[in-house]
Every structure is written in structure tokens, then in C-alpha cells.
Chain A
């Protein structure tokens, strides 16, 4: 089953771009990469999903290289409200079995 590895924590300052990298060395051919955001005492919330190359939405960008063994979530110009835990998931070949891992705790400072 494809599982992911992320840094435990990151610090940033308001207005900076933040890049969080996720490693998924055992990703399967039909797996998608999905990122979620979780604030304290809330359920996770979807940010972005991709299969390969680059995906961009109003919140973030997702970069997936050709070998798909890693991915990078890019948050442009973060604010204090972006302080949260960010989870990278790959589907593991079964679109109903999700492995969240421990996530990356992003701390945005003023």
C-alpha cells in the first residue's frame, strides 16, 4: 500500500510562499495525490488533487514530477490563517482506503 512521508513541521512568515514536499515512493500507476488541511478541532478539508505535472486552483498549486515518487504543495503568500496541519495522501490502489500519516504542521508567524 502506498504511504507517504512528510516533514513533521515547518515555520514560515506571513507573505512568504511555502512549499511542503511529500514522498510516496511506492505510488501505484492509478493512484492520485491529494492534499488536505486540518485546523484544530475540525475535520480535514480538501485543498488540491493531482495525478501528474502541475495543478493549480484558487488556494494552492501541486507539482508532481514525471516519476511521481514525490509531490510538492505550494501555498502562495501565506497568512496567519494558513497555520494548520497539511496531509498528503495517495490512494494506495483502493479508492476507499486512505492513509493520512502524521501530516506537516505549518506555523505561520507575523
Chain B
């Protein structure tokens, strides 16, 4: 039982490049989330998926797209990376409405 896994762990992009961050969970959780955390700041919700087949915007969705590929996987795509998207990205999941979230180890992204 690996919990929540994220790939890659580190990534450096040039401005304008695109990439997809991958997240998978093996806990049969219904809901999945993508957050970003800038240095010295708290986490901000980018997008979430309450259940397979649905996605919704969070607090800071601009510049990102998501795909809930199946119940296990939730990907985050940057179509045209910008330096302002330099951050640590965390994926999380939870099983039901009032349950707590389980977080992955994070992806550290630098956009030059």
C-alpha cells in the first residue's frame, strides 16, 4: 500500500514549455486534489475531483488543467509554463466527505 504517489519528484522547465504532473493513489479514495505551495506559504487548492469523472476549480486554477483518468489517477497539466508557476505541487486524496486528506510527497517545479 503505497498511499499517494507523485511523479516526477523534481522538474525544471523553460518558460512556455508544457508538462504533466502525475498523481496516483491506491487507497480506493473517491476525491483527489492538487495544491501548490510557494515558499513560506500555506497550500492553495488548484483543482479537485470529488469523484471519478468530475473536476472543479479551486482557489488558483488559472494556467492549469486537470484530468481524472480513472479512480486512481489525477493529473495536472501546465500547457505553457510561466515563472510564477515555480512551486511545490502536492496531490492529496480522501475517501469521503468528512474524512481527512492524505498527501503525496510533492513535486518541486522550477520554471526558468
What is A's interface to B at a CB cutoff of 8 Å? 32, 34, 41-46, 49, 87, 95-103
Complex: A44 Cα to B41 Cα, angstroms: 13
22 contacts between A and B (CB under 8 A): A34-B100, A41-B106, A42-B103, A42-B105, A42-B106, A43-B4, A87-B42, A95-B97, A95-B98, A96-B31, A96-B33, A96-B50, A96-B56, A97-B45, A97-B58, A98-B101, A99-B45, A99-B59, A100-B44, A101-B42, A102-B40, A102-B41
Given contacts A43-B103, A46-B100, 20 further A-B contacts (CB under 8 A): A42-B103, A42-B105, A43-B4, A43-B90, A44-B43, A49-B100, A95-B98, A96-B48, A97-B45, A97-B48, A97-B59, A98-B43, A98-B101, A99-B45, A99-B59, A100-B35, A101-B42, A102-B41, A102-B42, A103-B42
Task: Give the shortest distance, in Å, between A14 (CB) and chain B (any CB).
Answer: 25
A45–B101 Cα gap in the complex (Å)? 8
Are A32 and B98 CB-contacts (below 8 A) given A42-B106, A43-B105? yes
A108 to B109, CA, bound (A): 30
Please tell me the size bucket of the interface on B.
20 to 34
List 5 A-B pairs, minimum CB-CB distance, nearest first.
A43-B103, A100-B42, A46-B100, A95-B97, A100-B43
Contact assessment for B92 and A43 in the assembled complex, using a CB-CB cutoff below 8 Å: yes
